[in-house]
Structure formats: structure tokens, C-alpha cells
Amino acid sequence: MNRHIAALNAYPFDRLRSLFGRAEGNPELPPLALHIGEPRHAPPAIVLESLQQNTAASLGSYPLSRGLDTLREAAADWLEIRFGLPQGSVNPNTMVVPVAGTREALFSFCQAVISDEHAGPLVAMPNPGYQIYEGAAILAGAEPHYINTTAATGFLPDLASVDAATWQRCQLLYLCSPGNPTGQVLDIQAWQQALRLADQYDFIIASDECYSEIYVEPQPPPLGLLQACQQLGRTDFNRCVVFHSLSKRSSVPGLRSGFVAGDANILRDYLLYRSYHGCAVNNAIQLASAAAWRDETHVQANRSLYAQKFAAVTPVLSPHIDLYQPQGGFYFWAGVNGDEQTFAQKLFAAQNVSILPGSFMSRATTSGDPGQGRIRISLVPELDACIEAAHRIATFTQHEWIREI
Ligand SMILES: Cc1ncc(COP(=O)(O)O)c(C=O)c1O
């Protein structure tokens, strides 16, 4: 077997299952699951209708890795409108690749990018972060380098904390904005700093923007990497690739649909890689995806459902745990004043609410483990369930947890 497989870490949800072990959540209360980031709002009607119309016909042919023109054009148009890019600046034929969700794309991109030409390849990533970045680096034979995001760094990765020797080995930098789990958004200065480093040390930036459409208005929509490039006069998007998904934007995680866009030279090689990798997206899914990218009405409705949840849950939780309002995404990254794993375990036992211990998404570094003492609360259940969960967490912190700490 590939020796790197043994180096992979257990996935956070498997770790949560092990943490709970055979313990049952409080049987007197119905279970409430706020640990997983799986959107649960109803899928948009335009997606369902399109699937109904096109599924049967799609089954008789192999889809192409480069995808349908219709989808690439819809994605390019969406990028230009959403991120204020000049019309025609995203060439749908050379700058967009449809993917079967960003998870596989974030993973496969790293396999395509990492070169063993130079000794000791390294992939840098935010800590805490989406675990796929780490697994992708390990399986590509690169060393993951964790860049801490803490309260002191505004819950964004502090690129200045990375030394020159590390950047010299870096071939790929993953950034996530809005971040999972912190919800914070990189501003133009942060993107400029990342781009300067990428040029200086010759690496690629993979910007995971799958939460870009989930934010609470009137906050401005999160800035994206291609938008930052445009503002900085980098119109060829050199070294830059963004990852967009319908899973969160359109609440269709089961559709498995997203796209990668940016630097045409990188995407040409990535597309060649993908023709071997073989996860071309079914044509009916592509047509439904094109319809979804061309519609903003359902996205607006989806966004306001999350905004309602933040508005309802914040006053219930904020007196009891250390909360800040994220700039995007649908998570609270909250401090619990004590051990986060014990918190998760005892909350489950007392209130039948599951949340994710922060340390299941973070790694210990020489300057500490930024997930310690934090939990991720995912506002994916229906509004009433989120409110009920918030009350149960509040009750727990006032009784069982106060005795514990
Ligand atoms: C930060 C981040 N990136 C990417 C993904 C993958 O999303 P999908 O594969 O559904 O596009 C997720 C899913 O939870 C995520 O949290």
C-alpha cells in the first residue's frame, strides 16, 4: 500500500463517534446535531426540475472531464458578476473546470500540483482547517504546514508567522475565506500579502471559497481571490485558483457540484490530470448546476435563513460561551472556558446536543493548539432546532459545565 495512507488522520466525525463511544445522548431529549456542516435547507426548485428533465438522457453517455460549455459559461458569468470582474475576463474554455464538489477538487488539485523535483515539498494551510487539505498534502508526499489562526490573529492565518525556510519549500498554500471553522474573511491586504509571498517563493494559492455566499447582510459579500487579483491589477490570475461549490450556496450537498477557476496554465495541466483521475460530472447534474449558478433568488433566500438563525441564537448563547459574529459561513467558533472534548461529551450526555470539539479540526504546533478550548457549532438544522439547541447549551453551561470547570 501507499505508505502515506498510514499517516492520514482519522476524520473529525469519526473522532467524535469514538469520543462518544457507546454513550447515549440524554434519552429524555430528542437528538440535535450541530456538529456537521451539511446544509439542510430545501433544495431549489430549479435544480430539481432540471434534474427531472435531464437525468434519463444523461445516463447514456460518458460526461467529459472539461464539462459542458453551458456550465463553464454559467460559472464564468457568475464569477464576473459576483466578484465585479470585467466582462470577458474569465474565459470559460481555459479558466474554468467543473468538479464533483470542491472536496474532491481540493484533494485532486494537490495531487496534480505537487512536484518531487525539489526536495521536501510542503503544503501550507490554516490551522484549524478543513481536513482534506492535510490529507491531500500527505498523499501527495508533501509535508503539511499548519498556520495558526487565533483570537490574536483575528481568526485568520498569520502568514507573517511563517519563516522563509518554510516558504522556500512551499509549493501550495490553501486558504479558506470565509474560513471553516472561524468564518473570517481575508481582506485585500491579506490577499496582497499572500500574493507577494507566492511570487517571491514560487508557489500556487488554492483559495477555498465554498462559503462565499453565506454571510449576514448588510455585511458586504466576502472578497474573493480573483477579485483581489483584479483589484491589484493581476488580470491573468497568475498562480491563483479558486474553488466554488453549490453545496452551501444552493444547499445541495448531495448534488456534488462545484468548479475550479483561475490561472489558465495551471488549469490546463489540472484538466489533463483529471482526465485520468476520472471524476467527470454527470451531464444532468451539470445542466442543473448551470441553472443554479444563473439564479440568485434562491441564494438570497438561503442566506436569509442563516441570518435568522444567527439573530435568534446569538442572544441565547452569548452570555454563556465566548462568541463572536463570523463574517461568513454558518458556524460559531466559540470558546468554552475548559476542555473542548469534555464539553462535547458532557453536553451530549446531558442535553443530547452534538457539537464538534475544536481540537478535532486543529493540530498542535510549537506555538500551541488553536482548537483547544473551542467548539464549532454548525447552524444547519431548522431554525427552531437551532434555537432549542442554543437553549440546551445555555442550560448545560449553567449547570453541568459550571460544576466541571
Ligand atoms: C472548507 C470546506 N471546503 C470544502 C468543502 C467541501 O464541499 P463540497 O465538496 O460539498 O463542495 C467543505 C464541506 O464541508 C468545507 O467545509
Atom number of ligand 1 nearest to Cα 100? 9
The 10 Å Cβ neighbour count of residue 300 is 11
- Does residue 108 register a pLDDT over 90? yes
Confirm if 95 and 261 have CB atoms less than 8 A apart.
Answer: yes
Q: What is the 3-state secondary structure (H, E, C) of 121-155?
A: CEEEEEECCCHHHHHHHHHCCCEEEEEECCHHHCC
- Pocket residue to mutate for ligand 1, from 109, 180, 243, most atoms within 8 A of Cβ: 180
What is the structure's pLDDT at 128? 98
Which of 395, 405, 358, 316 lies closest to 29, judged by CA? 395
Query: Over the stretch 349-372, which tens digit does the pLDDT of each residue have?
Result: 999 999 999 999 999 999 999 999
Q: 28: CA distance to ligand 1 center in Å?
A: 33
- Pocket residue to mutate for ligand 1, from 246, 247, 376, 380, most atoms within 8 A of Cβ: 247
Which of 314, 291, 320 lies closest to 401, judged by CA? 320
Q: 355: CA distance to ligand 1 center in Å?
A: 18
Query: Over the stretch 222-271, which tens digit does the pLDDT of each residue have?
Result: 999 999 999 999 999 999 999 999 999 999 999 999 999 999 999 999 99
The 10 Å Cβ neighbour count of residue 387 is 16
The residue whose CA has the least distance to atom 2 of ligand 1 is: 130
Query: Over the stretch 124-163, which tens digit does the pLDDT of each residue have?
Result: 999 999 999 999 999 999 999 999 999 999 999 999 999 9
pTM: 0.97
What are the grid coordinates assigned to 88, written together? 470577458
Query: Which SS3 state, helix, strand or coil, does residue 12 take?
Result: helix
The C-alpha atoms of residue 94 and residue 46 are separated, in whole angstroms, by 27
Q: 196: CA distance to ligand 1 center in Å?
A: 27
Q: Pocket around ligand 1: residues whose beta carbon is below 6 Å from it?
A: 37, 101-103, 130, 176, 180, 208, 210, 245, 247, 253, 258
Query: Which SS3 state, helix, strand or coil, does residue 158 take?
Result: coil
Q: What is the mean pLDDT of residues 286-310?
A: 98
- Residue partners of 321: CB distance under 8 A and separation at least 6: 334, 335, 336, 337, 375, 393, 397
Q: 132: CA distance to ligand 1 center in Å?
A: 9
Give the DSSP letter of residue 97.
E
Confirm if 271 and 66 have CB atoms less than 8 A apart.
Answer: yes
- What confidence tier does 21 reach under pLDDT thresholds 50, 70, 90? confident
What is the structure's pLDDT at 22? 77
- Pocket residue to mutate for ligand 1, from 248, 250, 360, most atoms within 8 A of Cβ: 248
Amino acid at 234: R
Query: Over the stretch 302-320, which tens digit does the pLDDT of each residue have?
Result: 999 999 999 999 999 999 9
